Amino acid sequence: MIAFVVAAATGTWPYVAAAWAVVFGGMGVYALVTVVRGRRLSKRVPPEKRRWS
By CB under 8 A, residue 9 contacts another protein: no
3-state secondary structure the chain: CHHHHHHHCCCCHHHHHHHHHHHHHHHHHHHHHHHHHHHHHHCCCCHHHCCCC
By CB under 8 A, residue 19 contacts another protein: yes
- How many Å apart are CA 20 and CA 23, to the nearest integer? 5
By CB under 8 A, residue 45 contacts another protein: yes
By CB under 8 A, residue 20 contacts another protein: yes
Distance in Å, CB of 43 to another protein, minimum: 7
Binding-site ranges for another protein (CB under 8 A): 11-13, 15-16, 18-20, 22-24, 26-27, 30-31, 34-35, 37-39, 41-53
